[in-house]
Chains A and B, each alone.
Chain A
Amino acid sequence: MEIIALFWMFFKIGFLAFGGGWSIVGIIANNVIGNGWLSSGEFTQVVSVSQLTPGPVAVNIATYVGFKICGVLGASASTLGILLPPLIIIFIINVAGKFIKLDKERLDAALRVGTSSLIIVTLYTLIGSRHGDVTTFLIAAFTFLLFVKTRIDPVYIILGAAIAGTLFSVL
């Protein structure tokens, strides 16, 4: 029955995952720790591992929490749970789009404005989180310039920054 509980919890959280995965790490933490599935120390480890492995952090957290509690079946149930809400909503939008005619260009413009606000909020939240210090912001500024001014694949930029961070932590 824990598999159904896992699925249901991540399914509900999936609907709240608005504006990017980072915004729901806190919600997942409350639920997982509140249900007594993991201690807060274990959850912190789960978040670290989810950042170290490829893929969207929120999905990784769901997969890993499910795996820790119920093995492969738990991982599948949790991952499916968190991914089903966007699928349902995309389906509804596609169906609704056949009946409601909106001006596409104006809709694009409006979504861009709203999304830009959301990204500013994400940046603000991340900068305000406890991870930041002078080194982080220097790396951030350098990365920004590399992304905007050059055509370097950001995969290498992230790797380079991570290695730089590792070196700074030793020195």
Chain B
Amino acid sequence: MDSEINSLMIFTTFFKVSALTIGGGYAMVPVLIRHLEKKGWVNQKEFYNLLAKAQSIPGPIAFNLSIMIGKKVGGFRGSVAGAIGVIIPPFFTIMLIGAFLTRFSNSVLIKGFLKGAFGAILGLIGGVLYKMIQTKKWNYLEILIMIIGALVLIFESSYTVLLFVIIVTVVYVGDKKWKS
């Protein structure tokens, strides 16, 4: 890693991405990878590995991701800088203009605006899924488990955490056997 990366740079990067991205934490994921790649802080494979970790624990993905990427590029101080950078913009924006926006939240224009943004977020999540799959070597059993796992999760949403742990454990234990 570049030794010139300091906590302030990590803070400003996450602050900027957080302040500019509307549409929720999931929308921030594709924005982050573009910005981090451009800076050369992480490559695609590292990023999607960290994303998998960030998604494996409870909590907002963008927040978890900021801690993990911050830690990777700047140690403990980096993780604190990343987390604070992600949280400050929304925290103050909500309090400053939330009441103002509420007055318009039922307008046709705002509904259209949100609908368009929603379409983009669908496409971006699809894109993240595509990259998540593309940047890893898969064997047939992993693909099978991923698809069965998704189907089970769709039909039985009350045990998400348990089912997720089962999927990960099966692949972790199984991968050794399938490869040997």
A contact set with B: CB distance below 8 Å: 14-23, 44-46, 48-60, 63-64, 67, 72, 75, 79, 82-83, 85-87, 89-90, 93, 102-103, 106-124, 126-127, 131-133, 135-148, 151, 153-155, 157-170
Question: Is the Cβ of A48 less than 8 Å from the Cβ of B114?
Answer: yes
Does B42 belong to the interface (CB within 8 Å)? no
Chain B interface residue count, Cβ-Cβ cutoff 8 angstroms: 91
Are A161 and B119 within 8 A (Cβ)?
Answer: yes
Q: Are the C-beta atoms of B89 and A52 separated by less than 8 Å?
A: no
> B81 interface residue, CB < 8 Å from A?
no
Q: Report yes or no: A144 in contact with B164, Cβ–Cβ below 8 A.
A: no
**CB-contacts of B1-48 with A (<8 A):** 18-28, 30-31, 34-35, 48
B109 touches A53 (CB 8 A): no
Closest CB-CB distance, B15 to chain A, in whole Å? 10
Chain A residues positioned under 8 Å from B164 (CB to CB): 18-19, 114, 117-118
Chain B residues near A108 (CB, 8 Å)? Answer: 49, 52
Total number of residue pairs linking A and B with CB closer than 8 Å: 349
B98 touches A53 (CB 8 A): yes
Can you report 12 residue pairs joining A to B where beta carbons are below 8 Å apart?
A51-B23, A54-B21, A109-B142, A112-B136, A117-B146, A118-B164, A119-B125, A121-B153, A132-B118, A135-B119, A148-B127, A168-B112
B158-179 CB mask vs A (1 if < 8 Å, else 0) is 0011001001110110011000
- Using a CB-CB cutoff of 8 Å, which residues 105-149 of chain B contact chain A? 105-106, 108-133, 136, 142, 145-147, 149
Interface of A is mostly: helix
Q: How far is the CB of B170 from chain A (nearest CB, A)?
A: 8
Q: Is the CB of B90 within 8 A of A59?
A: yes
Given contacts A55-B25, A113-B145, A166-B112, contact A151 B130 (CB under 8 A): no
For residue A107, give the distance in angstroms from its CB to the closest CB of chain B: 6
Q: Enumerate B48-72 residues with CB–CB distance to A below 8 Å.
A: 48-49, 51-53, 55-64, 67
A45 to B116, Cβ gap below 8 A? Answer: no
Of A153, A158, A167, the residue contacting B121 (CB under 8 A) is A158
